């Protein structure tokens, strides 16, 4: 989609949902929510989140609505063997100023205690897990352990450097060499500071005489630094079957490297546990049916009120294996293009 259409905000919303689930707030503390500010009605309305995911072959559907001051509604469905079960529901009753609670027989444990311990600015899910609900722990763990984020702001090589100090250096070198980075070795020195450890990173190359030459990591190109920083998150989610969200995957990377990263997740040998990559991009060269299924590509655009909305390529029923998706997108068939006008015609 075009710039400023909401692609990054989509990932920020998912990240905010993770933060609310995994962070414990004291009574009276504000939830980190920013409502849509270009509509007078939505500014005062709760923000609603919902996500569906699969853990250990069971589908879950979890969501909640909240303002900066409190949680309004919260719900969880499970689908063992594909059959829906509503485990709990929490609904805000404006007249009484209290929550109405519903629990099903499918949810086991000290439900009354968990309910009474749930503060207005806290989620029942998080509270129950803190009070030792083993049944709800896989849902909580999906947010805390399975869902990872990498952004263009603050992208740091620290996690990959730390990974290299352990058993991961050979995998990182393999990752870099597969993408045509001719780095022979990586040397990482951990330095302990009063606040937290930091890492001095050097890359090793061979010169024309076969002698080793060290480069400080800061002297590497922006693309090399970014690709190195991607190594640990990508290798980790591939090894564990996790979900990795990356904003603007293509920045500072050659289109072939973007394609390389995407194809890792489509390769059963590299991705035996079905890890998932969710990313935003302006890179149109990867819009091809040789890389993606039609339902895997989503577009983001804005309506007349400047609100973002998303829709899949499959809505347009492109011919399987035949239609040139990049040409179709750039020619405007699928929408989600910037409306560029003549500079001299703008008033």
Asked if pLDDT for residue 152 goes beyond 60, the answer is no
Asked if pLDDT for residue 37 goes beyond 90, the answer is no
Domains in the chain, number: 2
pLDDT at residue 47, rounded to an integer: 96
Residue 158's pLDDT band (cuts 50, 70, 90) = very high
Are 282 and 171 within one domain? yes
Alpha helix (H) residue ranges in 241-286: 255-266
On whether residue 256 sits in a domain, the answer given is: yes
Instruction: Report the b/e string of 199-220 with b at 16+ CB within 10 A.
Output: bebbbeeeeeeeeeeeeebeeb
Are 139 and 176 within one domain? no
Are 46 and 101 within one domain? yes
Residue 208's pLDDT band (cuts 50, 70, 90) = very high
- 110-137, pLDDT tens digit by residue? 999 999 999 999 999 999 999 999 999 9
Are 134 and 257 within one domain? no
On whether residue 112 sits in a domain, the answer given is: yes
Residue 298's pLDDT band (cuts 50, 70, 90) = very high
On whether residue 319 sits in a domain, the answer given is: no
Rounded-to-integer distance, Cα 143 and Cα 122, Å: 15
Are 111 and 175 within one domain? no
The domain of 164 spans 158-286
On whether residue 189 sits in a domain, the answer given is: yes
Are 56 and 121 within one domain? yes
Are 137 and 54 within one domain? yes
- 181-201, pLDDT tens digit by residue? 999 999 999 988 777 778 999
Whichever domain contains 227, its CATH number is 3.40.50.300
Q: Of the candidates 232, 256, 286, which is a domain's last residue?
A: 286
Are 212 and 186 within one domain? yes
Asked if pLDDT for residue 100 goes beyond 90, the answer is yes
Alpha helix (H) residue ranges in 71-209: 111-117, 124-130, 137-141, 158-165, 169-178
On whether residue 308 sits in a domain, the answer given is: no
Q: Of the candidates 286, 304, 327, which is a domain's last residue?
A: 286
pTM tops 0.85: yes
Q: What is the mean pLDDT of residues 248-271?
A: 96
Rounded-to-integer distance, Cα 35 and Cα 64, Å: 15
Are 179 and 216 within one domain? yes
Q: Of the candidates 119, 146, 173, which is a domain's last residue?
A: 146
Asked if pLDDT for residue 153 goes beyond 70, the answer is no
On whether residue 326 sits in a domain, the answer given is: no
Are 138 and 192 within one domain? no
Residues 201 and 159: beta-carbon distance below 8 Å: no
């Amino acid at each position: 989609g075009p710039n400023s259409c909401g692609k990054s905000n989509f990932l920020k919303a998912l990240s905010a949902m993770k933060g609310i689930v995994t962070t414990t707030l004291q009574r009276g503390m504000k939830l980190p929510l920013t409502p849509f500010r270009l509509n007078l009605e939505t500014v005062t309305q709760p923000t609603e989140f919902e996500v569906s995911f699969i853990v250990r072959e069971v589908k879950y559907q979890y969501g909640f609505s909240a303002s900066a001051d409190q949680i309004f509604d919260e719900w969880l469905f499970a689908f063992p063997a594909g059959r829906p079960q509503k485990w709990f529901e929490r609904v805000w009753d404006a007249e009484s100023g209290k929550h109405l609670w519903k629990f099903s027989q499918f949810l086991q444990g000290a439900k009354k205690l968990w309910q009474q311990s749930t503060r207005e600015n806290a989620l029942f899910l998080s509270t129950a897990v803190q009070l030792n609900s083993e049944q709800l722990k896989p849902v909580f763990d999906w947010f805390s352990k399975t869902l990872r984020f990498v952004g263009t702001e603050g992208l740091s090589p620290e996690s990959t450097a730390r990974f290299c100090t352990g058993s991961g250096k050979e995998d990182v070198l393999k990752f870099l060499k597969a993408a045509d980075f001719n780095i022979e070795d990586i040397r990482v020195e951990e330095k302990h500071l009063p606040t937290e450890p930091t890492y001095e990173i050097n890359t090793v190359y061979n010169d024309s005489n076969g002698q080793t030459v060290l480069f400080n990591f800061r002297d590497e190109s922006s693309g090399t630094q970014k690709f190195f920083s991607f190594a640990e998150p990508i290798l980790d989610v591939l090894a564990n079957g996790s979900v990795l969200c990356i904003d603007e995957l293509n920045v500072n990377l050659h289109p072939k490297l973007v394609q390389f990263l995407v194809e890792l997740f489509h390769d059963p040998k590299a991705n035996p546990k079905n890890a998932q990559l969710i990313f935003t991009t302006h890179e149109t060269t990867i819009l091809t049916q040789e890389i993606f299924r039609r339902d895997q590509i989503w577009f983001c655009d804005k309506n007349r009120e400047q609100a973002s909305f998303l829709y899949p390529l499959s809505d347009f029923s492109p011919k399987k294996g035949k239609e040139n998706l990049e040409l179709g997108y750039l020619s405007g068939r699928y929408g989600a293009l910037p409306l560029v006008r003549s500079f001299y015609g703008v008033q």
